[in-house]
Chains A and B, each alone.
Chain A
Amino acid sequence: MADEDVVNVMLGEPGEDTWNTLVIGGTEVVVPVERDSDGDPFQDDEVWLCALDGTVVQRRYASDDEVDEDEEKRLLLYRFTDVRYGVYNVWTKIGGRPSEIARGLVVRREGVFAGESALPEERQGQGAAPEAHAGDDDVSLAQNLDGPTADDLDQSDDEDETA
């Protein structure tokens, strides 16, 4: 059984035609990231899916079951499940520092978009984020962005899916 979600609903008079619509489940977003992006082969890589306000929505470790390997491309495919419609940034640690590796992923009913482009379906996921590489020119450092704080990232793993 999944964690309990709290939802606010209305009651009506019997026989009326007002409804509460609940959309359950979420989109699966696959983020390919270069293996050992933190530069330390002995460290379990971490990738965070963050809301625009910096809240860590989900986190994945390279050793998680939700992470697949593409050996040919030396990529790890981080699968984030049950992602709600919204806009997200993706962060990881590069050289021990939190770094944004994908900005403005838009999850919509039609799939996952980066900018104006719909991203192709990949594996089981409905949307795959653009490939992210440690060392890309557009990788920005945490202190310049509205990303997760050190406190966010140091919090225990049991906050995996706060929203």
Chain B
Amino acid sequence: MSKTHTVRRGENAVSVAWQYGFSDHKVVWKDGANSALRDKRPDPHLLIPGDEIVVPDPTLKSLSLPTQKNYRLVVHVPKQELRLRILNQQGKPLAQAPYRLTVETLAKPFEGTTDDEGKIKAIVPVDAPSALLDIDDRQFRLRLKGLAAMPADDDDPMDGVSGRLDNLGYQAAAADESDNAALRTALAIFQGDAGIDVTGELDQSTRDTLKKEYGC
């Protein structure tokens, strides 16, 4: 009997599949019952809280093993990649900057320097909820899988837009979350900075530009 899982903040299709025992999320994501969701959210790593994923019954594996012996059973835990591009306020890459990335479920932190484009890559377990990034005398708590998808229609919340603008350095959040004036203002400033029509609305040009500048 399949189940329907309602996505919460901090989940994507990979982590949802893993919760139900699927190490390969494609088994869940590509299930026919999820075709409408796939049409709406083309990237399984970017969902919106409230999305519903149908989880099929897992296929149980059975093994017959002789007794009186020891066996090592290996479970494949899916890994995902965290990819960051660090820029300064002028939009220039923070190149060759030392960093330390401490993932919550890993004993050993990643340490290194950004590349010439200010980029950092790290392979992290799918069930890691957060990580601490220390760079340039600052500390950031990264909520892994916390970024929402861009809204597909007017019914979708704008969290994916404000999240991207926020990470790009715009004051997109308001004290009162129901007040979207701050988001409209941030959109207008972003549009001006990007050299596109300033409307304060999420039109197609703004959507494309924001995704391109943010990286997803």
Interface size for chain B: under 10, 10 to 19, 20 to 34, or 35 or more residues? 35 or more
User: Which residues from B are CB-within-8-Å of A150?
Assistant: none
Alpha-carbon gap, A85 to B132, bound state (A): 24
User: Which residues from A are CB-within-8-Å of B144?
Assistant: 9, 11
B167 and A108 within 8 A (CB): no
Tell yes or no: B138 within 8 A of A by CB: yes
Q: How many A residues face the partner with a CB closer than 8 A?
A: 42
Q: Known: A52-B182, A53-B176, A85-B169. Contact between A7 and B142, CB under 8 A?
A: yes
Across chains A and B, the number of contacting residue pairs, with CB separation under 8 Å, is: 182
Alpha-carbon gap, A7 to B10, bound state (A): 12
Tell yes or no: B148 within 8 A of A by CB: yes
Alpha-carbon gap, A84 to B135, bound state (A): 18
Alpha-carbon gap, A6 to B89, bound state (A): 18
Residue from A4, A12, A26, A57 within 8 A of B89 (CB atoms): A26
Tell yes or no: B202 within 8 A of A by CB: no
Q: How close is B106's CB to chain A, nearest CB, in angstroms?
A: 14
A20 and B167 within 8 A (CB): yes
Segment from B31-39, B52-60, B61-69, B77-85 that makes contact with A: B77-85
Tell yes or no: A21 within 8 A of B by CB: yes
Q: Give the residue name and chain of the A residue nearest to B213 (CB).
A: A21
Alpha-carbon gap, A86 to B141, bound state (A): 23
**Residues 85-115 of chain B, each 1 if its beta carbon lies under 8 Å from chain A, else 0:** 1111111001000000000000000000000
Q: Give the residue name and chain of the B residue nearest to A18 (CB).
A: B216
A19 and B80 within 8 A (CB): no
A19 and B140 within 8 A (CB): no
Q: Give the residue name and chain of the B residue nearest to A54 (CB).
A: B175
Tell yes or no: A87 within 8 A of B by CB: yes
The 3 closest A-B pairs by CB, nearest first: A19-B215, A86-B171, A8-B146
Known: A5-B138, A21-B84. 8 other contacts (CB 8 A): A3-B139, A6-B140, A8-B167, A11-B45, A19-B85, A23-B89, A86-B186, A107-B189
